[in-house]
């Protein structure tokens, strides 16, 4: 059975591998493929699914294919600004985003709602935190969360106004891990981009691809996964990183999810490998900011 962990002090518990539902929001993923990976995830013991208002068809597909299984998983979603591309960090916009997510995911309550990459300047106002508190009181959301990176994340984590954070943590992205995670044990922590967007798929630099920065960093870090395949090497690092409760690997493929779950159940990477990763990071990566 897939291991579960207490999610900070939220009262929730989550599987150590969650499903990142960004990919199933793409229009070139069929309804059948989305249904297969969503239902397959729950059947394999995944109990956390992460989506966002901005992930295309993702929220409505979760509602359509898992509406009848809604009590089997923790749903996290993200929003805040209008989803038409206009940034509008007003309380009304956040409330509208919550209502939309409730409707599309066919939920009576969003278990965790994250302000999605909200900049520190907006966070300092404090009004959106009050909006989230009101949504918790009204029973529309369970936990108020912040999703972001670097100084924005540090401010949110230290503010004491959030119950959970979602942030980039992987072998090629360790700023948040080393500078923020662990400071607040009460926070439930989701590691996003946990296998660094699988950059080893590309022999040549994937110019313009989401994975390009991590591809470049892996060239410099020069890790050796040894006998492990790259996905296992990367995921075992993230899923057992101190302070991480769940690693939400994004995929629209059930075969990949199955592989990732098998990999994560092998446990933490051996100490020697972790020491090698640490040495390489301190040698070349300590100034690298987190990627958003």
Ligand X SMILES: NC(=O)c1ccc[n+]([C@@H]2O[C@H](COP(=O)([O-])OP(=O)(O)OC[C@H]3O[C@@H](n4cnc5c(N)ncnc54)[C@H](OP(=O)(O)O)[C@@H]3O)[C@@H](O)[C@H]2O)c1
Binding site for ligand X (CB under 6 A): 20-23, 50, 78, 116-117, 147, 166, 192-198, 231, 248-253, 256, 259-260
Structure tokens at 185: 């044990």
Tally DSSP H helices, then E strands, for the chain: 11, 10
Instruction: Name which of 8 and 250 has its Cβ closer to ligand X.
Output: 250
**Separation between Cα atoms, residue 24 and residue 120, nearest integer Å:** 30
Dihedral over Cα of 30, 27, 168, 83: its sign? negative
In whole angstroms, what separates CA 24 from the centre of its chain?
Answer: 14
Cβ proximity to ligand X: between 8 and 20 the closer is 20
Both structure tokens of 249: 């690997």
Min dist. Cβ of residue 136 to ligand X (A) = 20
CA atoms within 13 A on the CB side of 289: 9
Cβ-based neighbour number of residue 167 at 10 Å: 28
Query: Minimum Å distance from CB 23 to ligand X?
Result: 4
Using the minimum distance from each CB to ligand X, give the nearer residue, 275 or 289: 289
Taking the complex as a whole, the smallest distance from the CB of residue 79 to ligand X amounts, in Å, to 11
Q: Smallest distance, Å, CB 150 to ligand X?
A: 12
Report, in Å, the least distance between residue 203 CB and ligand X: 14
If the CB atoms of residues 34 and 135 are measured against ligand X, the closer one turns out to be 34
Cβ 213 to ligand X shortest distance, Å: 12
Closer residue to ligand X, CB minimum distance, 283 or 289: 289
- Residue 224, burial from CB neighbour count under 10 angstroms (0-12, 13-18, 19+): exposed
Choose among 82, 74, 188: nearest CA to 141. 74
For ligand X, give the closer residue by CB, 29 or 137: 29
Angle between helices 254-264 and 230-239 (to 10 degrees): 60
Count of beta carbons in the 10 Å neighbourhood of residue 255: 11
H helix intervals, the chain: 31-43, 58-66, 91-104, 120-123, 127-137, 150-159, 175-179, 212-221, 230-239, 254-264, 271-284
Taking the least distance from each CB to ligand X, the nearer of 65 and 192 is 192
**Closest approach of ligand X to the CB of residue 212, in Å:** 13
Q: How far is the CB of 5 from ligand X (least distance, A)?
A: 18
Q: Is 184 in contact with 157 (CB distance < 8 Å)?
A: yes
50/59 with CB nearer ligand X: 50
């Amino acid at each position: 059975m897939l291991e579960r962990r207490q999610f900070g002090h939220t009262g929730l518990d989550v599987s150590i591998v969650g499903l990142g539902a960004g990919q199933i929001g793409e229009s070139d993923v069929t309804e059948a493929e989305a249904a297969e990976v969503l239902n397959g995830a729950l059947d394999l013991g995944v109990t956390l699914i992460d989506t966002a208002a901005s992930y295309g068809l993702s929220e409505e597909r979760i509602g359509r294919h898992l509406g009848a299984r809604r009590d089997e998983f923790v749903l996290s979603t993200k929003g805040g600004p209008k989803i038409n591309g206009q940034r509008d960090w007003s309380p009304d916009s956040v409330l509208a985003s919550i209502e939309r997510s409730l409707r599309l995911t066919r939920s009576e309550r969003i278990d965790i709602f994250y302000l999605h990459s909200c900049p520190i300047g907006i966070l300092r106002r404090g009004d959106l935190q009050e909006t989230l508190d009101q949504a918790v009181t009204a029973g529309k959301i369970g936990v108020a969360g912040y999703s972001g990176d670097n100084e924005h994340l540090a401010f949110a984590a230290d503010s004491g106004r959030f119950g959970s954070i979602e942030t980039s943590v992987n072998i090629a992205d360790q700023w948040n891990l080393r500078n923020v995670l662990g400071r607040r044990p009460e926070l439930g922590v989701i590691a996003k981009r946990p296998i660094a967007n699988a950059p080893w798929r590309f022999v040549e630099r994937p110019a313009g691809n989401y994975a390009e920065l991590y591809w470049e960093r892996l060239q410099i870090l020069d890790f050796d996964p040894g006998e492990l395949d790259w996905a296992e090497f990367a995921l075992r690092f993230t899923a057992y990183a101190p302070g991480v409760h769940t690693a939400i690997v994004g995929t629209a493929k059930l075969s990949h999810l199955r592989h990732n779950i098998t990999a994560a159940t092998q446990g933490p990477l051996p100490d020697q490998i972790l020491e090698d990763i640490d040495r390489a990071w301190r040698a070349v990566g300590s100034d690298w900011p987190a990627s958003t």
